[in-house]
């Protein structure tokens, strides 16, 4: 299994530019999550999807952030316009939930975003 695949691994951009992060979940997983990790705030859930449908986006910090999942094998997280405080590592994770209990998340390698 290839695992969760994220691209790019590193992104450096200037303030005001649009940034698009990409994720391919593990095949067969019906949940996809976007997390952001910083030293100050740790891992924060931004949004998650179930069967390609956004379920909870309450963690998205501002309207500048948007996420889509057009099909079961692809999701994007877009920041427009980007700001220096968006600098963080963004993780995509997926899981399969066969029953009433939460299943562990499988994380991608992350995208390290630096906004100057």
Partner 1 sequence: QKEVEQNSGPLSVPEGAIASLNCTYSDRVSQSFFWYRQYSGKSPELIMSIYSNGDKEDGRFTAQLNKASQYVSLLIRDSQPSDSATYLCAVGLGGGADGLTFGKGTHLIIQP
Would you tell me which residues interact with partner 1 (CB under 8 A)?
A: 31, 33, 35, 41-43, 45, 48, 50, 56, 91, 95, 97, 99-110
CB of 115 to partner 1, least distance (A): 19
CB of 48 to partner 1, least distance (A): 5
Distances (CA, A) of 35 to 56, 91, 98, 100: 12, 5, 22, 22
Nearer to partner 1, 9 or 17 (CB): 9
The CA R_g of the chain, rounded to the nearest whole Å, is 14
Nearer to partner 1, 15 or 43 (CB): 43
Nearer to partner 1, 14 or 56 (CB): 56
CB of 109 to partner 1, least distance (A): 5
* Closest to 15 measured CA to CA, from 79, 60, 107, 78: 79
* Closest to 43 measured CA to CA, from 101, 114, 93, 99: 93
CB distance 69 to 52 below 8 Å = yes
CB of 62 to partner 1, least distance (A): 19
Q: Position of tokens 């019906």? A: 30
């Amino acid at each position: 299994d290839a695992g969760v695949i994220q691209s790019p691994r590193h992104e450096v951009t200037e303030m005001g530019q649009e940034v698009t992060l990409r994720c391919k979940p593990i095949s067969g997983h019906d949940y996809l999550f976007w997390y952001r990790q910083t030293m100050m705030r740790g891992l924060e859930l931004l949004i998650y999807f179930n069967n390609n449908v956004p379920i909870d986006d309450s963690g998205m910090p501002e309207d500048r952030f948007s996420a889509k999942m057009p099909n079961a094998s692809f999701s994007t997280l877009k920041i427009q316009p980007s700001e220096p405080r968006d600098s963080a590592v963004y993780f995509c994770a997926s899981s399969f939930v066969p029953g009433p209990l939460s299943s562990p998340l499988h994380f991608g390698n992350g995208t390290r975003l630096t906004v100057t």
